[in-house]
């Protein structure tokens, strides 16, 4: 998933679709965003571990770059998921599940300290 694809998702949610999308389509989109969020969390966690394991030098810079990019994608995915969840009717079962996914954050988005 590239950053531009994530931005496209956000822009599509900003008004290019009809005001009342089909719930099944919306649910499918929310599920897809939740899945991408899980993947990006794993990428960020892997980059974080790589940074801890590497010494200074080019590989460290690359790992830091991957972590930063992944954290940016996580922020965009969380925002997009939040916007799609707002479109669900109150009391919809997927709404509470998606809310948990948005706020469950096993990867810190803060820079890590190198020792």
> Does this model's pTM top 0.85?
no
Helix, strand and coil in the chain, % to nearest 5: 75, 0, 25
Percent of the chain with pLDDT over 70: 60
> Bigger pLDDT: 115 or 71?
71
- H/E element, 55: none
Determine the Cα–Cα distance for residues 47 and 5; give it in Å rounded to an integer.
Answer: 21
- Contact of 81 with 101, CB cutoff 8 Å: yes
pLDDT for the residue numbered 9: 54
pLDDT for the residue numbered 104: 61
Does residue 3 have a pLDDT over 60?
Answer: no
Alpha carbon 29 to its chain's center: 13
Name the average pLDDT for the chain: 74
């Amino acid at each position: 998933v590239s950053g531009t694809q994530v931005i496209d998702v956000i822009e599509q949610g900003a008004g290019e679709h009809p005001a009342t999308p089909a719930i099944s389509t919306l649910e499918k989109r929310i599920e897809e965003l939740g899945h991408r969020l899980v993947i990006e969390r794993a990428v960020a966690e892997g980059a974080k571990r790589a940074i801890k394991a590497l010494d200074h030098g080019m590989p460290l810079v690359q790992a830091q770059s991957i972590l930063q990019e992944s954290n940016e994608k996580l922020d965009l995915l969380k925002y997009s998921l939040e916007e799609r969840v707002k479109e669900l009717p109150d009391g919809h079962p997927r709404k509470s599940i998606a809310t948990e996914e948005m706020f469950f954050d096993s990867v810190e988005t803060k820079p890590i300290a190198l020792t």
